[in-house]
Amino acid sequence: MNRLQAGLLTTGIGAVLLCSGAITETIRSDQLHPHRETLMWEDYSQDLRNKLTRSWSGGLEAIHKVMGQDDDKENLSKWKLYYDLEHAKHQIPRKEHSSFIHVYYSETRRSLLENGDFMPALLLDSEHSKAIQFWEKHDGTYAIITMEKRLDEDGTRRWLESGAQIIK
């Protein structure tokens, strides 16, 4: 191998290492997929936005009626509404993403969600330790799945389902 070939080989290896380091850093810092504040809400038609807003407002009223503790009822107005899991999960520590997503897409959700139901929304409390996933069903009732962050048997904080119900 002559000097020119050795130089090209060395330069090529260096370029590959440099690119892989840059890609790794980009993925680690989430710059590859920056999240937008509005996500795609503005891409929905005005009619669809109105229907979803009406549906979610009805869901909030239904949740307020069935919440057990008075302090939770008072604080419900401080909970933030998310219509998109991707936006909501950025509020939760990265190490909890897996358990949160697992509960969000649980077997309970799969069993309750039917064709004709409205798009689910998510309420997240200000301390990011409780969440309520809800949606209007095709028959006008509301499916509600409550989720909480708890300590597991091994002392790890995980998101777990704490209840599910259908209400009118």
**Ramachandran class of 30: left when φ > 0, alpha when ψ lies in -120 to 50, beta otherwise:** left
Instruction: Return all residues near 40 (Cβ < 8 A) that are at least 6 apart.
Output: 84
Same domain, 60 and 21: no
Does residue 119 form part of some domain? Answer: yes
* Greater pLDDT, 76 or 134: 134
- Side-chain-side CA neighbours of residue 54 (13 Å): 7
Domain count, the chain: 2
CA–CA separation, 104 vs 110, rounded Å? 10
Same domain, 28 and 53: no
C-alpha triplet 129, 31, 45: angle, nearest 5° = 75
Q: Which of 11-15, 58-62, 85-89 has the highest mean pLDDT?
A: 58-62
pLDDT of 30: 46
Same domain, 3 and 71: no
Same domain, 61 and 19: no
pLDDT of 29: 46
pTM of the model: 0.71
Cβ atoms < 10 Å from Cβ of 148: 16
Same domain, 49 and 29: no
Find where tokens 């807003």 sit.
Answer: 53
CA–CA separation, 122 vs 47, rounded Å? 21
Does residue 86 form part of some domain? Answer: yes
Does residue 148 form part of some domain? Answer: yes
Give the confidence band of 58 by pLDDT, cuts at 50, 70, 90. very high
Q: What is the mean pLDDT of residues 139-165?
A: 91
pLDDT of 12: 58
Residue ranges making up the domain that contains 157? 45-167
Same domain, 11 and 85: no
Q: What is the mean pLDDT of residues 43-52?
A: 88
Same domain, 70 and 30: no
Same domain, 17 and 94: no
Same domain, 29 and 52: no
Same domain, 132 and 56: yes
Asked whether 64 and 76 are in contact (CB, 8 A), the reply is: yes
Q: What is the mean pLDDT of residues 99-116?
A: 95
151 burial via Cβ count (<10 Å: 0-12, 13-18, 19+): exposed
Does residue 40 form part of some domain? Answer: no
Same domain, 58 and 133: yes
Does residue 39 form part of some domain? Answer: no
Same domain, 76 and 153: yes
